[in-house]
Chains A and B, each alone.
Chain A
């Protein structure tokens, strides 16, 4: 009997170890002690974060705390200089990769402020993007008809107005249209990790639901999402597994989805006051 227990414990340990190993292998994004500065001003002061496939992480935090800067580091914006720490994505060193390679590897950012590009049509833009992604995976470029089919399909997913894809990238789009367009691009590229930087801001209630539904429909067990937001409202639709509070360049608190509700109730003073 005793022997049995020991054996059982052994097995349990073994399983746990195997699971840990499995999980470790499974971790998609690992950020370790990340420090970064912009124009000599340190903005990120030691970020640690792990994201596994299938997970949804929410990052909240007051204005200027460094949320978008973190997104910039992950996507390779050159103005942000990493001074310390590491970021790996599926075991690869992200910080070594130029922005376009990160995208092809499956990192996607829905910009807080999408950029207008006069003269470049949405169609040409997306065709170039999709085909560069395919090339990276040694696939032939999509035929014109297959591309249009994909475009149509994904447009429906986010209920984006057909007219928008015939226009120049974001040019003259309303605030909400720009955000929808980000999710449309996400749907076209099917990233492994999506970072949504305040995708909810500027959306009316219906658009918020459409966008959130779009994100949920794209959700699988193999991809992950980081949602940067100020409001619980979005998290009612895109339910996070973890909520982190970024304050002054550090993650000062991590917890389950109830943390967002607590924040909503108490505001940030509660964090700032060193709780």
Chain B
């Protein structure tokens, strides 16, 4: 895309901001509004990331912005019953539900709910008023407004989103499920903001499901900041299941305190263009980070995962496994940066990225990026890009399993290595089932999706 076109997108966004600042502010909260001005200034400097930016080398962000999109600064009145559009069919999965429609929190029935043992789930707008001290401490602290134009853009525009708070010592037994729905008669750009805070020695499971419900172009540009307190544990599973004209740009920031454990599992089942940034900062000794990812792509889909694990202090461990299956002309990228700072002795950091290419036209770029400044560390990384293993295929056929079925079993097995990290059994089984359907091509009717598959 020409320079003028990217300049145009930038100008358009800045003007949009200036023209609608009142509306944006009105529909949000003072604490969030407080950060906008600086963010838009940053965006004015940074613009959208382009491919000269090493971090975005393999993803052409401007290309998805080159279409017209509507932007709403107040929730559109869509009248429907939640049950009519969404039915969670994970049978044994009983969750606390948070619904987000086009970036705005859907009261269900309240905007802010206090659950078992003081766990809070609700709209970020309402939470800022009630918990200002938490926002001062955690909101817009990790987000890279100075270096990533998309993050700055989000901070400038985001009005609503989900807030989750787990108080000290509380184990939230029921998983918290956030369902992001996109539904519109016109192309739509949505930008929202999530904040998740786990206090000391608390535990929670958060499941995020993204769905597109109407056959329009979408861009979701989402920033999520997560603070995992001392000795706290969070499992964060994200399921991206949107249609081919739906584009996701996600920026997830995690800061882990001493002896905390965080498991991130990003399952990109379907989507047109997906870019996930995951930053995990190991800020307290003994912290343990797990980053898992699975991407299943076909046709002209594109999935790009960028991860940054920052070992800032000694005695932390990180374990990273991303796997992908690329069919047709699909393209993908994985860039795994691990930084072990000078003081971070006794770090253990492991990374692997394995890819299966089903056709000669599918393309994958994988790049480990280890920067190690401490001397007493254990680090390893490995990346593979390969085809279906002929010997394994033959072995299965020699037992009477037809070629197509054998390939499916192999792919399923390949993907299961990531799925098996999901700790909730009923959810794991459901994900296995979705992966199976996806590999069999039964999820491709996602476009115009009548089924709400999570």
Contact = CB atoms under 8 A, between A and B. Distances in A.
Is this pair of chains taken from one and the same complex? yes
Q: Which one of B410, B413, B416 has the greatest number of beta carbons of chain A within 10 Å?
A: B413
Contacts of B397: 76, 98-100, 103
Contact of B400 (A104, A116, A119, A168): A104
A35 B416 CA distance: 42
Interface stretch (A129-137, A225-233, A251-259): A129-137
A119 B391 CA distance: 15
Nearest to B391: A115
B248 to A, nearest CB: 27
Interface string B428-443: 0000000000000000
Contacts of A76: 397-398
B406 to A, nearest CB: 8
Q: Do most interface residues of chain B lie in helix, strand or loop, or is the interface mixed? A: helix
B400 A133 contact: yes
A124 B399 CA distance: 13
A194 interface: no
B400 A189 contact: yes
A102 B399 CA distance: 9
A117 interface: yes
Contacts of B399: 103, 125, 129, 185, 189
A118 B354 CA distance: 13
A1 B391 CA distance: 69
Contact of A125 (B396, B403, B414, B416): B396
A269 to B, nearest CB: 34
B404 to A, nearest CB: 10
A211 B360 CA distance: 43
Contacts of B389: 115, 117
B316 to A, nearest CB: 28
B386 interface: no
Given A119-B417, A136-B400, A124 B409 contact: yes
A77 interface: yes
A18 interface: no
Contacts of A53: none
A120 interface: yes
Interface in A103-157: 103-104, 109, 111, 114-121, 124-125, 128-129, 132-133, 136
Contacts of B392: 115-117
A165 interface: no
A109 B399 CA distance: 8
A136 B409 CA distance: 19
Nearest to A109: B398
B132 interface: no
Interface string B8-46: 000000000000000000000000000000000000000
A69 interface: no
Contact of B394 (A77, A104, A119, A129): A77
A223 to B, nearest CB: 16
Interface in B381-419: 389, 391-392, 394-403, 405-406, 409-410, 412-417
Contacts of B398: 75-76, 99-100, 102-103, 109, 111
A128 B417 contact: no
A120 B412 contact: yes
Contacts of B414: 118-119
A102 B349 CA distance: 47
A100 B401 contact: yes
Given A111-B395, A114-B395, A120 B413 contact: yes
A94 B211 CA distance: 50
A6 to B, nearest CB: 54
Given A132-B400, A136-B400, A189-B400, A99 B394 contact: yes
A121 B410 CA distance: 10
B400 A120 contact: no
Given A99-B394, A115-B391, A185-B399, A128 B410 contact: no
B403 A100 contact: yes
A103 B396 CA distance: 10
A132 B408 CA distance: 14
Given A103-B399, A132-B405, A133-B400, A120 B394 contact: no
Contacts of B409: 120, 124-125, 128
Contacts of A109: 398
Given A111-B395, A128-B405, A132-B405, A118 B400 contact: no
A193 B397 CA distance: 16
A100 to B, nearest CB: 4
A98 B406 CA distance: 13
A87 B375 CA distance: 64
Given A119-B414, A120-B413, A100 B402 contact: yes
Contacts of B415: 119
A136 B392 CA distance: 22
Contacts of A124: 409
A132 B401 contact: yes
Contacts of A189: 399-400
Given A98-B403, A100-B401, A129-B401, A117 B396 contact: yes
B413 A119 contact: yes
Contacts of B402: 100, 132
Contacts of B394: 77-78, 99, 115
A100 B400 contact: yes
Interface of A: 75-78, 98-100, 102-104, 109, 111, 114-121, 124-125, 128-129, 132-133, 136, 168-169, 185, 189
9 pairs of A and B residues whose beta carbons are closest in the complex: A119-B413, A103-B400, A120-B413, A99-B397, A115-B395, A129-B399, A100-B397, A132-B400, A104-B400
Interface of B: 389, 391-392, 394-403, 405-406, 409-410, 412-417
